[in-house]
Chain A
């Protein structure tokens, strides 16, 4: 489904990803996680072809999206992306947003596209917001509408960038459960970029833990929590790390 090999990437002269490799099998839910600034979102942007890697390859369903000229529409129609803030086009209504990928495919928005979009909105529990604009929705509703848009082409692979970010725990949990249901009903493979521990524990079977642009751990979630590197265990137990915990006083003391 997804194969990344020795990927190096960055911005300007700053290298963010220092040789990432990753394989995601069909039907898997894989979480890419790590602390802020570790390179999670950069990895996703390079996989999706939104940035060009310095070296290495990222093949999605057998094709490299970063190759100049862009990927074929056929390939992109088998991929769905849920962006962090939803990234709904604010000048279009929710219904139009969900139909947008179909319109890009050349389908007339007055016919079958409407039926498909309504079906997806219904699937994410948003039957009554068709004519509303993104600015009129709550954060959770925007995420669900964006999820409906990502699923409208019935993709095989779904990328989610921080799906729970900015949501309250209940809404976040509901979104996680929705993703699990959709995985079952649509046979999706899901790649999630996140640092929300509860969400990862609920969704992921395998994790890729990044630190400073390198892979610190790649394997099953349970094993990572119980026997993974100390930094990974610290992350799941919300500990700040042994070095900081035992920081000695810097004051010169006369008794």
Chain B
């Protein structure tokens, strides 16, 4: 058994030099450390000696102290990491059927909770509208301003720019066939029926959905939701309903304005690129549009608003943990909001145009 004599100063240099060399030696043999001369033990050196003992034990060897000085022993005892924690029990990997069953059960439970939340949200909103329950006075107006009015510039800008791009592409193709006049029809129909509501929903899922989730998640993490609950207010009517109402009221109008921006972008292309007169553009546009286009724009937008508000509020109020959980919840809302909005839009398209 090799006997290593420890120096009087066990410092960082010893830990990174001799200590590291000894680590490979204790894998093959027992070791005795003679520590009678030790006067100072650096924290890293103490850690290295404990590490030597742990490595030796793993390889069926041992490390002992020979006549250690009081300083060495006290220092090692003070920094003793204790017994190695038990390794977590490795659970057997579930087979395919078991995983399928567990997944299905989890999905069913989640769907049931989502349904319950959706019902609570609807009832809470009805209770607020019928004044059976209360939120902070003016809460709906405040949310309308924040989720609707403040979103208008970005919605108009983005839909206007996308409208301009689409109009340029479509105008180029139509011009080749001498059908430039139909740009008005294409722009009007596509924006009012499809691009306007969908693009508005995608923008609001990113802007307003994330804002709702972040606010509610922060309130949840900081116990504000618990405080409101303990006062006797229902979160469904106090917190959720104003946001749902604000989104459902503002989104159809935002979608209408967005469609208008797209159509006006088409007008710019029609006049300056294709040489059409504005009168003819609007004449063809009005001939192509029907009253039901406006009706479905409103209907689709309200459904999209419900989806975004539902996901944003549910995710926000289900948040547990700290600031990282708030970030994850916000990301989830944006991704899920866009995903389910596109699914709903596809279902509308199948129902209306198939």
Interface residues, chain A, CB within 8 Å of chain B?
45, 48, 50, 70-71, 73, 76-77, 79, 81, 83-85, 87-92, 96, 100-101, 103-106, 108-109, 247, 249-255
User: Would B231 and A254 count as touching, CB distance under 8 A?
Assistant: no
- Contact of A96 (CB < 8 Å), options: B76, B136, B224, B228: B136
- Give the nearest-CB partner of B226 in chain A: A50
B53 contacts across to A, CB distance below 8 A: 251
Write out the residue numbers on chain B whose beta carbons fall within 8 Å of the beta carbon of A88: 224, 227
Q: How far is the CA of A252 from the CA of B232 in the complex (A)?
A: 63
How distant is A104 from chain B, measured CB to nearest CB, in Å?
Answer: 4
The answer to whether the Cβ of B24 comes within 8 Å of any Cβ in the partner chain is: no
Q: How far is the CB of A150 from chain B (nearest CB, A)?
A: 9
A254 and B222 in contact (CB under 8 A), knowing A50-B230, A81-B230? no
Whether A87 lies near B65 (C-beta < 8 A) is no
- Are A90 and B224 in contact, CB atoms less than 8 angstroms apart? yes
Considering the chains assembled together, what is the distance between the CA atoms of A88 and B234 in angstroms?
17
Report chain A residues within 8 Å CB of B63. 252
Known contacts A106-B134, A254-B66, A255-B67; A249/B77 CB under 8 A: yes
Residue-wise interface mask of B (184-220) relative to A, using a CB-CB cutoff of 8 A (1 in contact, 0 not):
0000000000000000000000000000000100110
**A254 — which chain B residues lie within 8 A by C-beta?**
32, 64-67
CA distance A77 to B232 in the complex (A): 8
A-B contact pairs, 5 of them (CB 8 A): A73-B232, A251-B53, A253-B65, A254-B64, A254-B66
Would B223 and A83 count as touching, CB distance under 8 A?
Answer: yes
- Interface size (B, Cβ < 8 Å)? 32
B230 cross-chain contacts in A, Cβ below 8 A: 48, 50, 76, 79, 81
Q: Does B80 contact A (CB under 8 A)?
A: yes
Q: Are A252 and B64 in contact (CB under 8 A)?
A: yes
* Interchain CA distance A45-B223 in the complex, whole Å: 11
Where chain A touches its partner, the secondary structure class is loop
Contact status B231-A101, CB under 8 Å: yes
- Residue B127 lies at the interface, judged by CB distance under 8 Å to chain A: no
Chain A positions within 8 Å of B32 at CB level: 254
Confirm or deny: B137 has a beta carbon within 8 angstroms of a beta carbon on chain A.
yes
Specify which of A45, A87, A90, A103 is in contact with B134 (CB 8 Å cutoff): A103
- Are B134 and A253 interface neighbours, CB within 8 A? no
Could you mark each residue 230-242 of chain B with 1 if its beta carbon is under 8 Å from any beta carbon of chain A, else 0? 1111100010000
Give the distance to chain A from B45, nearest Cβ to Cβ, in Å.
15
Q: With both chains docked as a complex, state the minimum distance between the C-beta of A196 and any C-beta of chain B, in angstroms.
A: 19
Contact with A along B56-98 (1 / 0, CB 8 A): 0000001111111000010011001000000000000000000
Closest 9 CB pairs of A and B: A76-B232, A87-B227, A87-B223, A73-B232, A252-B64, A104-B233, A81-B230, A83-B223, A254-B66
Could you tell me if B219 and A89 are in contact, using CB atoms closer than 8 angstroms?
yes
Indicate which residue in A45, A48, A81, A253 contacts B64 across the interface (CB closer than 8 Å): A253
* Contact, CB under 8 Å: B80 / A84: no
User: Can you name the residue of chain B whose Cβ is closest to the Cβ of A109?
Assistant: B137
Is chain B's interface secondary structure helix, strand, loop, or mixed overall? mixed
A250 partner residues in chain B, CB cutoff 8 A: 77, 80
Whether B223 contacts A103 by the Cβ 8 Å rule is: no
Residues from chain A with a CB closer than 8 A to the CB of B226 are 45, 48, 50, 83, 87
B80 CB contacts on chain A under 8 angstroms: 249-250
How many angstroms from the CA of A91 to the CA of B218 in the assembled complex? 11
Complex CA distance for A106 and B53, rounded to whole angstroms: 69
Q: Which of A71, A76, A77 has the most CB of B within 10 A?
A: A76
Residues B232 and A251 in contact, CB atoms below 8 Å apart: no
Q: Determine whether B20 belongs to the interface, using a CB cutoff of 8 Å to chain A.
A: no
Task: Tell me if A104 and B232 are in contact (CB < 8 A).
Answer: yes
In the complex formed, the residue of A with least CB distance to B53 is A251
Q: Tell me how far the C-beta of A167 lies from the nearest C-beta in chain B, rounded to whole angstroms.
A: 17
Complex Cα distance, B203 from A157, in Å, reads: 48
CB contacts (< 8 Å) of A87 on chain B: these are: 222-224, 226-227
- Given A77-B232, A103-B134, 4 new contacts (CB under 8 A): A71-B232, A87-B222, A89-B228, A251-B76
In the assembled complex, which residues on chain A have CB atoms less than 8 Å from the CB atom of B224?
A: 87-90
CA distance A247 to B219 in the complex (A): 45
In the bound complex, CA of A188 to CA of B130 (Å): 36
Distance in angstroms from B133 CB to nearest chain A CB is: 9
* Contact of B229 with A by CB under 8 A: yes
- How far, in whole Å, are A78 and B147 apart by their CA atoms in the complex? 36
Q: Who on chain A is nearest to B3 by CB?
A: A254
Q: Is the CB of B67 within 8 A of A103?
A: no
**Is A251 a contact of B227 with CB atoms below 8 Å?**
no
Closest CB of chain B to A81's CB: distance in Å?
A: 5
Q: Which residue of A lies closest to B137 (CB)?
A: A109
A71 CB to nearest B CB, Å: 8
Report the minimal beta-carbon distance from B31 to chain A, rounded to whole angstroms. 11
Give bound CA distance, A142 to B218, whole Å. Answer: 17
CA distance A193 to B85 in the complex (A): 32
Q: Closest residue of chain B to A100, judged by CB?
A: B231
Please measure, in the bound complex, the distance between the C-alpha atom of A33 and the C-alpha atom of B232, giving whole angstroms: 27
- Which chain A residues border B222 with CB–CB below 8 Å? 85, 87, 90
Closest to A249 in B: B77
Give Cα A145–Cα B26 distance, bound, in whole angstroms: 62
Closest to B64 in A: A252
A143 to chain B, nearest CB (A): 13
